[in-house]
Every structure is written in structure tokens, then in C-alpha cells.
Amino acid sequence: MSSVVLSKTRTNQRANASGQIDPERVKALFPIFRNNELTRNLSYLDNAATSQKPEVVMQAMDDAMRLFHSPVNRGFYPLAEQTTTRYEQARERLKSFIGAETDTSVIFTASATDSINQVAQGFLLARLKPGQNVWVTRMEHHSNYLPWQDVCEKSGASLRIIELNSTGELDLDRHPDIFSDTTAMIALTQTSNVLGTTNDVKAICEQAKQKHIPVLIDAAQAVVSNTINVQQLGCDFLVFSAHKMFAPTGIGLLYIAPDRLDQVQPVRLGGGMVDFAADSIADTTWSEAPHCFEAGSPNLVGAIGFAAACDFVESLGQANIKAHIGELATTLYQQLSHYPNLHLVSPAKHLSSGIVSFYHDVIHAHDLAQIMGDSGVAVRAGHHCAQPLLRHLGVSSTLRISISVYNTNDDINAVMNALAHAEKVFA
Amino acid sequence: MSDSQLYKAQLLDHFKKPRNKAVGELTTMQVVKRGSNPRCGDDIEVGFCLNNNTIEPIQFRGRGCSVCIASASMMTESIKGQPAEYAKKIAAQMQRWIAGEDVKMPEMLLPLEAVRQHPARKKCVMLAWHALVEGMEECNV
């Protein structure tokens, strides 16, 4: 291995030394808000879909391409060795970010969706039997619903749904057989991308552990404003994507608990994940984890950006982020609640997620989003890839406002002005 | 103010007071076809009768955004009482026009012009037209 001393990335600068988020100062760290006409005065409130990227993340990725780009785990020259080291350092960074026991449990995937599919296909499918149940919740994103539905239908098992109570929280008491011997798996989101409800995933993991039921947590919406510690949670699998936490698209994380690693089969086969490629798959041997789950040339630039985003999030502090977005969401919620034609579907108790969803009696969510968009307010309208939840709510679409570190009171005012304008247009 | 001018007065008028929109089932229609877009929840039915090769009456029902409902309303207005071949021709022109081609369209449909600048709304605007085309195919038009 080369003894090149790796320079520290510029991501270690503290973006927020004081504790409390100063959104204007944080916003200045995001080049998009000063780069063009479309974004200069934009109130970007579609953060649950994807976040904007700070300069430090771009710079780290730029460095990866300009300064040390070469193959990962495949070269014997100093540059390639340095690149491999950088990639593995990114893994180490993710390991500390989620409090994992070992870096063999930290797997880079293409996305949170890809991570879940790998667990469904590579872990659950082979062990799932007819008559068993797989539990998900009513508030799941399609990414944490369809993969389980698929393996259940392939193996004769049943997909069961943990329903919600009237306050938009999981009604665990309604389903006494969740933590029973018939349960093969529980997969649930930590924070709903539509409601903003944050579930007590730790309590569910604790109960599941008593029955040795594996649990997968989708932390995609939670990771920016909640410190994740997989050991304290006691989960078997945890997934999230990079792009919702200020890093690029195309890369996600899959955490597999050490005692589950041997129970997961690779589903992506190809270069870099095989030790001995025999004449038949039966005789082929896979590399050790995590490499057996990372077929193909690793996403070096994405991993470097992902790691830089961990630094960025921690420099702001998840607790500070939660306080900031929760405060703005509460302000927005209170103002929206005065509108007689609006129906808020986000529980008031869970506004610290920064997510406020609602629908309008008269104006279709797509029309509302379009008019808001024309007024410089970027929001999401539709079913948010959560059709089972929308059916439960009895609506075909909602409008979702999702708040992040760079949003200010001006953005909330912009929402209210755009809403008033939309009501005039449709009066 | 809405920069796109998507929500023109005529479009909003057709949304708020849709023409030829039925409240109940389209039971009296000779052909009924459904157009739905699960991605956004738009879900409508278009029904019509074909007498002596003339489309009369034509109705629609269902729910959708303003673009979807206004387009359905304008469609029924622009083709009712017209020969089937005319309706087929206009539907084909509509498809090309919304896709961005330079096509001369009947004045009735011009308030939909701004939709051409909004790719995300093209499915909404075409939903009723696709149902109409399906219905006419069933009648071998």
C-alpha cells in the first residue's frame, strides 16, 4: 500500500459552530441558490424528494475526479492504491455515521430502493415459507412495500400491513400477531415521507429481537434530522439514500448486522464480488463482505460525496437541524390551519420531521403545485410513491412541503402568498 | 402571478363549469372508455354514441386536475355533432400538438396551448383524448 499522506478534505470545516441553525448562512453554502435565474429566489421545499448539494460535497467529488480518480480495488499502482484507500475511508466515514460495529456491515448500493431490494431478494426470499407473514406499515414508500409484496407472492407468504390510528401513528395494538412466530420479517420506515410521522423503531426492534424477527429500517427521511446508531437501535438492516442528505444521487447505504451477513446472498453478480469464478455458480465462491455485495466498479465519486455529506450533516448537528425544520414546519402548520378549505394530513405531533402534507377541497394538488411553482415555490404534489397510504387517506394526491436546513421564514411566507394566489385563480 | 399562463380564463371556465359532464354512470352511451392515470389519480370515463357516422351525444365523468377536466370538456364541445373521421383527425392532431409539433388546432382547444410547455401535465391533457380514440377504435373508426 502506498504511504501517500491523504490530505484532509475541506468538508471538516464546521458549517455551524454556534449550535443553532442560521439558515441564511447555511444557504450561502449551497451554490444552486445563487447560480441561475430559476433558483436565485427559489423557495425550495421539496427536500423530502431530494436535497440540494453544498459546496463541500461538490468539492470533495470534484477532487475525486481531478486528483485521484482510478479503479477501486483493482490496481497495483500508487494512484489506484490511493483511490482504493479513499473509497474505503468513505466506508469508514459511513460506518461511524451510523455507529456500525464493523465496516464489513457497511455496503454501498445504488440507492435506498436498491438496498431494500437486495435484502428482499438476497435475504428473505430463500427463507420465506407459505403461511408466514411479512409486516410493513400503511405509511411505507413503494420502495419499502413492493419488494416485500413481490417475495411474499413468490413464496406463498402474506404481506401484512400495520395500520394507522386516527392520529397518524402506527396502531400496533390492533395487530397482536406482529411479534409472533409466524412473522418472517418486519420492514418499516423511520419517518413517513408523506405524513412526517416518526416511528419508535427502537421499541419495535427490541420487541422483534425477543422473537428473533429480522427488522429492516428505512431511514431515508430520518437520517438528516436524527442521529442513527444501528447498535442502539438493534436493527438487522438499515437503509438510506445519499441524495436526501445533501450528497449525490446514484448511491445509497445498506447496513447488514454482523450476525446477518452470512444469511444474505449477493443478488448483483459480476466483477469485484467473486473470488473463484468456477464452471458453475454452485462451485463459485464470493468475496468477503462488504465486497460480495458491491458488484461492478464501485461508485467512487458518489461514495466520496456521501462521506462529505456525513461531515456536513454532523457539522450542523442533527438535533439542531431537527429544531430548525420543526420550528418552520410548526409555523407553516399553524398558518395553514386557518384555511377552511385545507385538510392537513401531517400529525401536529410529528412536525419535527419538517414535512407538512395537505389537500385542498377545491384545488387539485397538481394545480396548486403548478401555481406555487410559477410563484417560485418548489413543492411536491401527488401520491409521493405511497399509494397504499393515499388510499387509506381517501385522497388521490396531496401537496407536500418538506423543509430543510436552508429554508427560512421567507420560504414559509412564500408558500402562504402562493396559496392565497391559487385560491384567487380558482375562486 | 402564474408565469406559464397555464390557467387561462377559458381553461378555468371549463374546469369550473365543465360541458357535457355527467354526474352518474354513462349508461345511455353506446361506447364508454376509461382513462386513468394512477400516478396522479386522474380518472375519467368518456362515452359517446355514433349515429350515421356522427358523434352525438358525447359525455364524460370522473375526477381530475383542472387540465384534465378542462381538456375533456373542450374535447366534447369540439367534436359533438361532428363526423367520426373528424374526431379521429382532431385527436391525432391533438396528440402531435401537445407533443410539441406545429399543428393548426381548432380555436376551441387553443386555451390548452400552455400545457405544451409543461411536460408533467401532458398526460393530464391527453387522458380524455386517449379514451376517445380507444372508443372509436372499438367502433372501427
pLDDT digits (tens, 9 = 90+) for A237-284: 999 999 999 999 999 999 999 999 999 999 999 999 998 888 999 999
Test A366 with B124 for CB contact under 8 angstroms.
Answer: yes
- Contacts of residue B10 in chain A, CB cutoff 8 Å? none
Q: A366 vs B4: CB contact, 8 Å cut-off?
A: no
Work out the pLDDT band at B4, boundaries 50, 70, 90: low
Q: Is B66's CB within 8 Å of A383's CB?
A: no
Specify the long-range contacts of residues B45-51, CB closer than 8 Å, at least 24 apart. Answer: B45/B131, B46/B72, B46/B75, B46/B76, B46/B128, B46/B131, B46/B132, B46/B135, B47/B22, B47/B135, B48/B132, B48/B135, B50/B84, B50/B139, B50/B141
Lowest-confidence segment of A5-9, A228-232, B44-48 by average pLDDT: A5-9
Q: Which of A367, A397, A421 sits opposite B66 (nearest CB)?
A: A367
Specify the pairing of strand A215-218 against strand A237-241: parallel
pLDDT digits (tens, 9 = 90+) for A286-295: 999 999 999 9
Residue A410 distance to chain B (closest CA, Å): 18
Of the partner residues B3, B39, B66, the one whose CB lies closest to the CB of residue A374: B3
Q: Write down the pTM of the prediction.
A: 0.89
- All cell numbers assigned to B102: 406545429
List C-alpha distances in Å: B111 to A58, A372, A375, B11, B59.
43, 20, 21, 6, 20
| pLDDT over 80 (residue B1) | no
Q: How many CB pairs under 8 A join A and B?
A: 53
Residues in A touching B70 (Cβ below 8 Å): none
**Class of the domain covering B9-138:** alpha beta
Answer CATH for A318-425 from 3.90.1150.10, 3.30.420.40, 2.60.120.620, 3.30.70.2190: 3.90.1150.10
pLDDT band of residue A18 (cuts 50, 70, 90) is low
Predicted confidence band of residue A36 (pLDDT cuts 50, 70, 90): confident
Contact A366 B38 (CB under 8 A): no
Q: Does pLDDT of A357 surpass 50?
A: yes
**If we measure between CA atoms, which residue out of A151, A156, A153 comes closest to residue A125?**
A151
Mutate to test the interface with B, among A364, A389, A399 (most CBs of B within 10 A): A364
Q: How far apart are CA B46 and CA B133, in angstroms?
A: 10
Q: Is B66 on the interface with A (CB under 8 A)?
A: yes
For chain B, the domains span: 9-138
CB contact under 8 A, B38 and A387: yes
From the list B3, B39, B121, the residue facing A382 with the nearest CB is B39
Q: What is the mean pLDDT of residues A308-326?
A: 98
pLDDT at A10: 41
B13 by Cβ neighbours in 10 Å (0-12 / 13-18 / 19+) ranks as middle
CB B80 within 8 A of CB B96: no
Is B119 an interface residue toward A (CB < 8 Å)? no
To the nearest whole Å, the CA of A371 is away from the closest chain B CA by 6
- Of the candidates A282, A238, A234, A236, the residue with the CA atom closest to the CA atom of residue A262: A236
pLDDT on residue A16? 52
pLDDT in tens, A169-224: 999 999 999 999 999 999 999 999 999 999 999 999 999 999 999 999 999 999 99
Residues from chain B that touch A397, judged by Cβ atoms under 8 A, are: 40-41
Q: Which CATH architecture has domain A78-314?
A: 3-Layer(aba) Sandwich (3.40)
Please tell me the predicted confidence (pLDDT) of residue B118.
85
Q: Chain A closest CA to B77's CA: distance in Å?
A: 22
- Mutant choice from B14, B17, B63, B65 vs A, greatest count of A C-beta within 10 A: B65
- CB–CB of B40 and A382 under 8 A? yes
- Cell numbers that stand for A133 in this block: 407473514
Contact residues, chain A, for B2 at CB < 8 Å: 370-371, 374-375, 421, 425
What single-letter amino acid sits at A407?
A: N
> Domains of chain A: which residue ranges?
78-314, 318-425
Please tell me which residue of chain B has the smallest CA distance to A368. Answer: B65
C-alpha to C-alpha distance for A424 and A211, rounded to whole angstroms: 57
Print burial letters for A283-320: b (CB count within 10 Å at least 16), e (below 16): eeebbebbbbbbbeebbbbbbbbbbbbbbbbbbbbbeb
Please indicate if any CB of chain A lies within 8 Å of the CB of B38. Answer: yes
B43 in contact with A, Cβ within 8 Å: yes
**In chain A, which residues touch B (CB < 8 A)?**
364-367, 370-371, 374-375, 382-383, 387, 390, 395-397, 421, 425-426
Q: How far is A148 from chain B (nearest CA, A)?
A: 21
Among chain B residues, CA nearest to A381: B40
Which residues of A are known to be catalytic?
385
**DSSP structure class, residue B55:** E
Q: Name the strand (E) or helix (H) holding A234.
A: none
Lowest mean per-residue pLDDT among A16-30, A182-196, A227-241, B94-108: A16-30
Q: Inspect the interface and report whether the beta carbons of A370 and B41 lie closer than 8 Å.
A: no
Which strands sit side by side in the sheet containing B31-37, from one edge to the other?
Answer: B31-37, B42-51, B54-63
List CB contacts of B110: < 8 A, sequence separation 6 or more: none
Q: Which of A16-25, A258-267, B36-45 bottoms out in mean pLDDT, i.e. has the lowest?
A: A16-25
Contact of A403 with A352, CB cutoff 8 Å: no
